[in-house]
Amino acid sequence: MNTLAAVNIDAELAPRFGRGWHCLGEAASYRDGQLHTLNIFGTRLLAFATSDGQISVIDAHCQHMGADLSRGTLENDRVVCPFHHWQYDASGKCVEIPYCKRIPPKAKNRKWLTCIENNLLFIWNNPEGKAPAEGVVIPHLPEQDSGEWLHDWHLDKLVIETNPRELVDNLVDAQHFGPVHGTPTKYFANIFDGHIAQQIFHGDSESLGGDLVAESAYYGPATHITRMRAVFEGMEIHSILLNCHVPITANSFELRFGCMVKKIPGWSEEQNRAMALDYVERTRDSFYQDVDIWAHKIRVNNPVLAEGDGPVYQLREWYGQFFMDEADVPATLRERREIVTVAQH
């Protein structure tokens, strides 16, 4: 095989993963003194925390002979490779080789950019290797600082064997609420604005409450946060849903889903916790009604739409910006566009 052909084959095999922040779950779950294997973005990464609580994510394969560092050990804040015991620090640099004084300058693994927001760990992916543009952040939720909310996200993680676009399409799917969730749509609108895509939904839900108002937004291609309020058993329930994913391959992704609930004033801590768990269960059931559809549907690039369907094509155009170089993103995608699919009645 000539070299050129081999290069082309590799290029075909390498899928592009979206530019953006991707959630890796609760930051605290990485502060357990263990090495965490992350099979994401078509490769393997390693996450670990040093004794000061800082979390590092580095490429998992050793620069020496390619062993999997995530199968090594964490000793004195250093990752020790299981193969020949080279030691790496939190920056991804090899700092000790047991049988040699001189460390080769190339003995350094890539360290990925991460941030912690709302007690969650996020990793930045950009095939161009650049840092996030100004304003491309995961918003801080002030509810996290307030004693009025139960802070646990009650995160669930599952693997879905399809392209993540199926999941993102859901943001504009105005007509599935009745059939899938038993929650007919009273009002439905989307706003596209730079790296943010919003949905505003009003409806009545049997399981989540009447007069349900859900305002949600994708911040980049993979992090979806929803603020929801509904009247349930005579009480107004406020919740925040988290729906985020990280691609594993082009056709599979890790999905994390969680829910945070506001305490009912005057209730005891136990009553609130029981209410939250019950409500989290209900939102989870509702979410998994979607998951069941995604897990079995096929990918359709040019769906046939009818009047009353949401702006699927506009959403996909918005989503497409994360899969092209930043310089190629059309200026029109930076302009705010609001599309009302179901008007108030």
45 vs 276, which CB is nearer to ligand FES?
45
Query: Distance of CA 208 to CAs 275, 300, 307, Å?
Result: 12, 30, 28
Stretch 79-118: interaction string toward ligand FES, x if CB under 6 A? --x-xx-x--------------------------------
Q: Of 330, 300, 338, 313, which Cα lies nearest the Cα of 196?
A: 338
Size of the site for Fe ion (CB under 5 A): 1
65 binds ligand FES (CB under 6 A): yes
Candidate list 44, 64, 165, 238; residue touching ligand FES; CB under 6 A? 64
The single residue listed with the structure tokens 């989540």 is 208
- Of 78-86, 104-112, 167-175, 188-196, which part binds ligand FES (CB under 6 A)? 78-86
Q: Should residue 26 be labelled a site residue for Fe ion when binding is judged by CB under 5 A?
A: no
74 binds ligand FES (CB under 6 A): no
In the complex, the smallest distance separating the C-beta of residue 106 from ligand FES, rounded to whole angstroms, is 13
User: Which region among 14-22, 187-195, 256-264, 285-293 touches Fe ion (by CB under 5 A)?
Assistant: 285-293
The DSSP code sequence of 323-334 is: GS-GGGS-GGGG
Cβ atoms of residues 214 and 228 within 8 Å: yes
Residue type, 237: I
Tell me the closest approach of the beta carbon of residue 83 to ligand FES, in angstroms: 4
Q: Which stretch binds Fe ion (CB under 5 A): 66-74, 198-206, 228-236, 283-291?
A: 283-291
Which residue lies nearer to ligand FES by CB, 63 or 126? 63
Judged by beta carbon distances under 5 to 8 A according to partner kind, the member of ligand FES, Fe ion, none in contact with residue 210 is: none
Q: What is the distance in angstroms between the CA of the first residue and the CA of the last residue of the chain?
A: 66
Residue 178 contact, options ligand FES, Fe ion, none, Cβ 5-8 Å cut-off depending on partner type: none
Categorise residue 259: left if φ over 0, alpha if ψ from -120 to 50, beta otherwise: beta
Residues 203 and 190 sit within 8 Å (Cβ to Cβ):
no
Of 22, 290, 321, 322, the residue at the interface with Fe ion (CB under 5 A) is 290
Q: Closest CB to Fe ion among 108 and 224?
A: 224
Long-range contacts of the stretch 321-328 (C-beta < 8 A, 24+): 321/195, 322/18, 322/19, 322/20, 322/195, 322/220, 322/221, 323/16, 323/18, 323/19, 323/221, 325/128, 326/19, 326/128, 326/130, 326/133
Q: How many helices (H) and strands (E) does the chain have?
A: 5, 18
* Closest distance to ligand FES from the beta carbon of 84 (Å): 3
Closest distance to Fe ion from the beta carbon of 173 (Å): 7
